[in-house]
Structure 1
C-alpha cells in the first residue's frame, strides 16, 4: 500500500507511476484523515510506502500527524519512502524515520526525486522556467524504472537522496523555523473583482480550509502551505501577501503536455 500527499500534483504523479508498476493500492492521506481511517490490514507480501513533498526541508505537518495515528496488522514488512523536492530535501528522511519509529516502522529504502518548484512565498523562490520544468520531469521519468525495480525487489539500505550542502541547517534550523512560524493561511487573499467563482480553490484544498466563492479561508489551523489554492486558480485571483503577485503559477501538467 502506498500513502501519499500532494499539493500541486508532483508527488501524485510519481506515486501513480509506482502504483501502476507494482500493483499496490494508493491512498490519499487527506481522504483517509477525513474518514478517520488509520488502521490497515496488510496483504501477503504487501509493502508500505510513503510519498510526499518536502516542505521546508521536513515532511509536511499533515503527513507527520497522520503517521502518529497509523496502525498495521503487522510491522515486519518492507517499508520505503519517497519525497519530491524542488531542489534538495535536507534531513527530511531522518525526521520521517523518527516519526515512523514511534509506531514501530522504519523506511529502509529512501528516494528523493527533484520536481518543478512550487513554493513561491519567499523573495528568492520562483517557479522554474518552462525549460527547467521539462528537464526535471524528464529526469524524474528516467529515474522511475530504477526506483520501481528497487521496490519490487524489496532491496533495503538504499538511500538515493538530495540532501544539499548543509542538510542539518536546512532541516533543523531554517526548516524548523519555517514549519513552526510560516506554515499558515494568514496572508492568503482573493481579488474579488478577478475571481470567477469557479470554486476550484475550495475543491483542491487538501485540508478543507476554504469555503464559498469568492473563497474564504476558515483559519482552521490545518493549512499546509502547499499553495494548491494559489497555483490552481485559473485567473490568478488568489495571492499570498504581495509577493506572489509577481510570481508565476505551476501545477503538474499545467500545460497539458505531459504523458501519464
Structure 2
C-alpha cells in the first residue's frame, strides 16, 4: 500500500513509479474523506507514504490524515516514506516519524527526492530554469530506481535525506511562519482580461477549493482548506492567476507524466 498526496504532480509520478516497481496499490489522500480511516495490511504488504515538502514540513493535509488513520496490524510490516522537494527537507521526516509513532506505526526507512521547484509564494522563490528542471528530472528517475530497489528488499535504517544546512531554523521557525501566515488562499486572484474561464485551475486543485462553472471565472472558497500548493496557478494556460504580487513575472511548472525523461 502506498499512501500519497501530490499538488503539482511530482509526488504522484514518484508514487506511481514505486507502485509499478513494488506491485502495491496507490491510495490518494484526497480521495479519502471522513473522520476515521482504517486499513488492514495483507501478509507481506509494505506501507509507503509519499508527499511533497511544504515549508520544510509534511503538508497539513498529510499530518491531518495521519491523525485519523488506523493501521490495524502495522507491527512487522515494512514502512517507508519518500518525500519530494525542490531543495532540502529540513526536519520533515523527524516530524512525520513522530506523527506515525502516535498511531503506533514504526518508520523503517526514509528517502528524499529532489524534483523541480514549484513553490512561488515568496519573493525570492521561483521555478527552475528549463535546463535545471530537465537535470532534476533525470537525476530523480535514477535516484527513484535506487530507492525502489531498497524498498523492494525492505532495507531498514536507511535515511537517504538532504536535510540542508539549517534544518531546525527552516522547519521550526520558517516552517511555523509558513503554516501560520502563508497557507491561505486569500492572496489568490484572477486577472480578468487574461482568464479564458476554462476551469483547469479548479480541476487541478487537490482539495476542491475553487468554485467554477462553465463560462465563469474561478473563485476561491476561503474556507481554510487551501494548502498553498499552487497547483491552480501552475495549471492556468494563460497565467491569469496571481498570488498577490509575489508571483508576478514568475514561471509555471507541473509534472507531465507523458513527457519523456
Bin for the TM-score computed over the shorter chain? over 0.9
Corresponding residue for residue 145 of structure 2: 145
Structure 1 residue 203: Cα displacement: 1.0
Normalization by structure 2: what TM-score? 0.95
How far apart are the structure 1 equivalents of 2:220 and 2:140? 34
Name the CA distance, whole Å, in 2 between partners of 1:106 and 1:232.
37
Question: What RMSD, in angstroms, separates the aligned Cα atoms of the two structures?
Answer: 1.3
- 1:178 maps to 178
String of CA shifts for 1:121-166, please: whole Å, max 9, x gaps: 1111010000000000000111122111111111110000000001
Aligned to 2:228: 225
Give the deviation of 1:106 after TM superposition.
2.3
Matched residue SS, 1:239? strand
Equivalent residue, structure 2, for 1:64: 63
SS in 1 for 2:57: coil
- Whether the 8 Å CA contact 2:79–2:106 is kept in 1: the answer is yes
Aligned to 1:258: 260
> Residue in 2 aligned with 1:20?
20
Deviates more, 1:146-155 or 1:51-60: 146-155
Deviations 1:49-105 (A, max 9, x none): 110000000000000000000012201111100100001110000000111111001
How far does residue 8 in structure 1 lie from its aligned partner after superposition?
Answer: 0.5
Q: Once the 2 structures are TM-superposed, how far is the Cα of residue 258 of structure 1 from its aligned partner? A: 2.5
Listed as ranges, the gaps of 5+ residues in structure 2 are none
- 2: CA distance, partners of 1:88 / 1:175: 13
Counterparts in 2 of 1:1-260, with a 5 A limit? 1-33=1-33, 38-76=37-75, 77-212=77-212, 213-253=216-256, 257-259=259-261
CA contact (8 A) 2:71 2:105 kept: no
Hey, what's the Cα distance between the residues in 1 that align with 2:181 and 2:104? 30
Count of residue pairs the alignment pairs up: 257
- What TM-score, normalized to structure 1? 0.96
SS of equivalent residue, structure 1 residue 58 = coil
* Cα distance in 2 between the residues matched to 1:257 and 1:3: 24
Q: Give deviations 1:190-211, integer Å, cap 9, x for gaps.
A: 1122111111111111111101
Large movers: runs of 4+ above 3 Å: none
Q: Contact 2:35/2:68 (CA < 8 Å) preserved in 1?
A: no
For residue 223 of structure 1, report the CA deviation from its aligned partner.
0.7
CA-to-aligned-CA distance 1:161-206 (integer Å, 9 cap, x gap): 0000011111011111111221110100011221111111111111
